[in-house]
A = this chain, B = another copy of it.
């Protein structure tokens, strides 16, 4: 693991680079599209009969041992030629103002990322968003890119029949055996998938969020007034995508947020989401009552020009919903939701986000910023799950989805929250019905309230289930949820937990090729190829460290046991002996030289009874 140029700000002043142990970055150019280079992570396997396993890789150039990382210059502009060719309008851009950075004085001002980019804006008369291109029948480079990315090594893997998942249940999803660019286009045109890709985010490696694609994971980063600086935040991004986060939300609320965001976006290969109301609130001194449409609109433009790929907009919190929360155990737990509820009640007016929704669409369309329609009234406790406030807002989000679609904008819908297991499925069903199959993006849900410190697990359970039921992207929860700001270890734990949930959902939905990695790891396990087992795991470093805690020697990496059972009690070793005996006896039988009893021959005939479901 090597490190790059120092960043301004507090420790750590470098970001993590270099491949994850046992793997390397590879790029594949789709046939007919040599200018598109789709990244994968390829995990070597020592067994000669098993090809290297290719896995989805959102980590960007940071894990490419050939790449030279220069944070001040930003990442390579992989999308630049595609966007350039679309003839968007060049713009000067809005001038940065002191309040964009929370009015911080020159002594404490973090310098912006020096990387300069051409700024663009779409024109009213020509397609700008991926949705508009899709509807016009145009397959963009982004669509080609995600098609190849989603297939993994699927064409290769599907040669092996075991890659199909018997009896899977996808609850009405329509997952194809093979993803084509045209399939991606159709899904986007129908609103069932989005590619969050601001035209001002040229560093982006495009990805899709939709029920018929792999389940994705979002990680939240961001400072608060209490903690965190710029260097920590950029490293959190790099660290989160290293372990598999597919998108990052920057939820910063402190000072310097404009400039910190410039470092994040210029160095992010994944879509960046934000909640613009947070920065708008900073601009009015933190008092929700003082928020205005003008300040909010200015913030949208500011962030859209920077290249933010999706905005959480809490336009579903309407004045008439607020009283529905009065009897709740935990009221309103969404920050954006509580801010807007306060504004509505203080002014006794309908939310300006709701009333100005058309104008918000027009702004977001110009840059292809996707909507993440916020669930401001999501339940914050088991007691409040699936209540009237929550579902009233969901219905409003359904109305807004149709308006945004009519305006050409891409849309996904945010979901709960805290929901006991028996109420999870209804959330998915209602979301699909209300929002016409727009992708669902849920926080957890947490399946009990009683385990602060372990809410990555209370919510990982709910996330796996709702992912199976059809949620397209899962917003991670870290062990620090409800308690404090996550650190580096918490971010990793949260991401790995959610990669587990997402993968468990892919398996259960019957995503072709999802099981390839499980099977490769299990074969390695059965054959005592310990290094292969570690390298194929979601977190090779931890798997190896846990094993080596009791058996550190190199010789133990091929040992036919571990410290869990010890050498005499290893079932896998006993079974290998067993299989050897079974096969030897079979061979004898076939050769007509059977010395074993007649009984065994009869028994032997049953050896290859086909496996049934």
Contacts and interface: CB of A to CB of B under 8 A. Distances in A.
A500 interface: yes
Interface string A365-408: 00000000000000011110011100000000000000000000
The bracket for how many chain A residues form the interface is 35 or more
Nearest to A536: B450
B335 A569 contact: yes
A457 B497 contact: yes
A342 B504 contact: no
A322 B458 CA distance: 38
- What's the dominant secondary structure at chain A's contact region? helix
A563 interface: yes
A480 interface: yes
Scoring A387, A461, A508, A581 by chain B CB atoms within 10 A of each residue's CB, the highest score goes to: A461
Given A388-B611, A550-B485, A572 B537 contact: no
B383 A500 contact: no
A180 B575 CA distance: 47
Interface stretch (A209-217, A234-242, A541-549): A541-549
Contact of A596 (B254, B348, B497): B348
Contacts of A563: 224, 226-227, 484-485
A507 interface: yes
Interface string A425-449: 0000000000000000000000111
A518 B448 contact: yes
B458 A461 contact: no
The complex is assembled from copies of this chain, and their number is 2
A64 interface: no
B500 A281 contact: no
Contacts of A454: 496-497, 500, 538-539, 542
A566 B572 CA distance: 52
Contacts of A319: 603
A382 B519 contact: yes
A455 to B, nearest CB: 9
A394 B331 CA distance: 48
Nearest to A596: B348
A338 interface: yes
Contacts of A334: 571
A98 interface: no
11 contacts: A253-B568, A326-B607, A327-B608, A345-B578, A380-B571, A383-B518, A383-B522, A421-B468, A448-B500, A449-B519, A484-B546
Given A332-B578, A383-B519, A484-B546, 9 more contacts: A167-B423, A225-B566, A226-B566, A333-B572, A341-B578, A388-B611, A422-B508, A457-B500, A461-B500
Interface of A: 162, 165, 167-169, 224-227, 253-254, 278, 281, 286, 288, 319-320, 322-335, 337-339, 341-342, 345-346, 348, 380-383, 386-388, 418, 420-423, 447-454, 456-458, 460-461, 464-465, 468, 479-485, 487, 496-497, 499-501, 503-505, 507-510, 515, 517-519, 521-523, 525-526, 533-534, 536-539, 542-543, 545-547, 549-551, 562-572, 574-579, 581-583, 596-597, 599-600, 603-604, 606-609, 611-613
The 5 closest A-B pairs by CB, nearest first: A331-B575, A381-B522, A225-B566, A224-B566, A421-B508
